[in-house]
Amino acid sequence: MGLRELVGAVGRRWTWVVAATVAGLLAGLAHWLVAADTYRASASVFFSLQYGDSASELVQGSTYAQDQVASFARLATTPAVLGPVIDDLGLGLSPQQLAGRVEASAPVDTVIVEVAVTDTDAVRSARIADAVAAELSRTVEDLAPQDEQGDPTVRALIVAGAEVPAGPASPDLLVDLALGLLAGLLLGAAAAWGRTALDTRVPDPATVATLTDLPVVGSIGVLRDGGDGSPVVVESAPHSPAAEAFRQLRTNLQFLQLSHDVPGGHDVPGGPGDRPVRVLMVTSSVPDEGKSTVAANLAATLAETGSRVLLVDADLRRPSVARLLGLEGAAGLTTVLLGRARVEDVVQDWGSSGLEVLASGPVPPNPSELLASPAMRRLLADVRGSHDVVVLDAPPLLPVADAAILSHAVDGTFVVANARRVRRHQLREGLANLARVHATVLGVVLNQVRRDETAYTYGPDTGSAADAGAAAADLVRALPVPSSGAR
């Protein structure tokens, strides 16, 4: 994941980052409130080499002392130094426990060791720092080589005694809040990145582009019915953003038809040459992606243009079109395929735009065989001649082979990808199934896309289609009635 993807992940889940940042700030504040005050006192010890008269010997001695001063600093936290300090001050601690409170460091290019002690008592921290510095001086002189007169070659001198701290060194409110803020930001960003990295759904067209070269011909947001419970928002909520999204899908389909009808137009990849796109199949990779709802709304929008449109429920395993539209499903496609009725006998009208619907009929024991039968091909040829557009709601691609079988009998296929349900490998595998049978795939329709629907609304706030109709009727009644002599 690159920087752009990371920024995008944080942007999509900014609430996680904000929540983690607030939690970090609260944690820092809680630490400042409950943590015990600690005080820090320090003393400094200067080390020098006690031999040599010439300038070169003094320089060599200084260099030697600088090389050894790091070892002197480490010596300050050993039992050889801390044991006598504990005995002298009666601390009641072990050398290991006291070593956790003592910090000794040697600044670069110096021969000074700074001993810092942290303790919950200010006076005691200064006493311990002075005692450790004094004991370190004695220990270094005892361990250093002696000259000819028996004097130590390294001399230690306490140059800065410890002073009693005027205030606690920790906790520091600003430091705790800054650390909490930083930790919260990092944790929130890491959580957002991790969730995005592990999320294999298909949330947007950019993700689809990484899986296939097919275009995204439609992007449908979360469907909200117009108050009557109908998922066909084109009819129940015609002015909603979702209804407009389906009309955009219809427009894209019309451009695809134009590219097939006009000489020299660009064929859909894998398409049937110059044959117009009149028989469409809508399918998905896995169940419950909303393909039936998309098929019904697409058919309704096509019927709005005055075209004669037939919606066929070709999902003979889990039919849902009749239930979605509130129609009778006892007779339908399977009834026609078995020769027990004609299409015109079982087709039902639905909606105000004249949409015709052919339900699935009784669920057969052999759906794949029925869909692959010559009777199915004859039926499609008949309805192609009697209708401007035929929309088939087909079963999902991965569980069964029905959609792949039907793909050769239609002019083009739309694959619905639910942004909240389908996984990338499932969409890729579903498209691969169609590619293996050389199906004509017109594009991908993203469904249930998360977005701010208010940004996709344009026009007066009419509340509903019924309110808009009532307002229009009131306006007509308010117009002056022309006299009988008016021409």
In the chain the domains, ranked by start, together with CATH numbers, are 3-35+172-198 (no CATH), 39-160 (3.30.70.1130), 205-457 (3.40.50.300)
R_g over Cα of the chain: 41
3-state secondary structure of 157: strand
Contacts of residue 10, Cβ cutoff 8 Å, sequence gap at least 6: 17, 188, 189, 192, 193
Residue with tokens 């990145």: 193
Q: Which string of b and e fits 33-44 if b means at least 16 CB within 10 Å? A: eeeeebbbbbbb
Q: Which string of b and e fits 11-32 if b means at least 16 CB within 10 Å? A: ebbeebbeebbeebbebbeebb
- Pull the structure tokens for residue 126: 């200064």
For CA atoms 470, 475, 478, 484, the dihedral sign is negative
pLDDT above 70: residue 44: yes
Look at 6-10, 58-62, 102-106, 324-328 and tell me which has the smallest mean pLDDT.
58-62
Give the pLDDT of residue 230.
Answer: 79
User: Following CA atoms 449, 455, 459, 461 in sequence, which dihedral angle do they give, to the nearest 10 degrees?
Assistant: 90
d(CA 252, CA 254): 5
> Exposed/middle/buried for 181, CB within 10 Å: 0-12, 13-18, 19+?
middle
By the 8 A CB rule, do 23 and 31 touch?
A: no
Give the pLDDT of residue 41.
Answer: 96
Average pLDDT over residues 190-211: 88
User: Following CA atoms 377, 382, 385, 390 in sequence, which dihedral angle do they give, to the nearest 10 degrees?
Assistant: -70
| CA nearest to 72, candidates 50, 105, 43, 95 | 105
Tens-digit pLDDT profile for residues 355-386: 999 999 999 999 999 999 999 999 999 999 99
- 43 vs 273, more confident: 43
Give the pLDDT of residue 477.
Answer: 46
15: Cα separation from own chain's centroid = 12
d(CA 411, CA 249): 17
By the 8 A CB rule, do 208 and 423 touch?
A: no
By the 8 A CB rule, do 292 and 283 touch?
A: no
By the 8 A CB rule, do 342 and 296 touch?
A: no
Give the pLDDT of residue 4.
Answer: 72
Tens-digit pLDDT profile for residues 322-355: 999 999 999 999 999 999 999 999 999 998 889 9
d(CA 300, CA 247): 9
d(CA 86, CA 334): 95
Tens-digit pLDDT profile for residues 111-135: 899 999 999 999 999 999 999 999 9
d(CA 452, CA 464): 19
pLDDT above 70: residue 307: yes
pLDDT above 90: residue 6: no
Average pLDDT over residues 412-432: 96
- Pull the structure tokens for residue 144: 């250093």
pLDDT above 70: residue 57: no
Strand partners, 279: 390
Strand order in the sheet with 39-49: 102-105, 112-119, 39-49, 154-160
> Exposed/middle/buried for 183, CB within 10 Å: 0-12, 13-18, 19+?
middle
| CA nearest to 360, candidates 386, 336, 391 | 336
Residue type, 192: A
By the 8 A CB rule, do 241 and 221 touch?
A: yes
Q: Can you state the percent helix, strand and coil of the chain, rounding each to 5?
A: 50, 15, 35
Give the pLDDT of residue 471.
Answer: 44
| β-pair type (39-49, 102-105) | unpaired
Look at 19-33, 113-127, 472-486 and tell me which has the smallest mean pLDDT.
472-486
- Give residue 194's pLDDT band: very low, low, confident or very high (50, 70, 90): confident
Q: Which helix (H) or strand (E) holds 320?
A: none
Average pLDDT over residues 88-111: 92
3-class secondary structure per residue, 238-301: CCCHHHHHHHHHHHHHHHHHHHHHCCCCCCCCCCCCCCCCCEEEEEECCCCCCHHHHHHHHHHH
Residue type, 345: D
3-state secondary structure of 402: helix
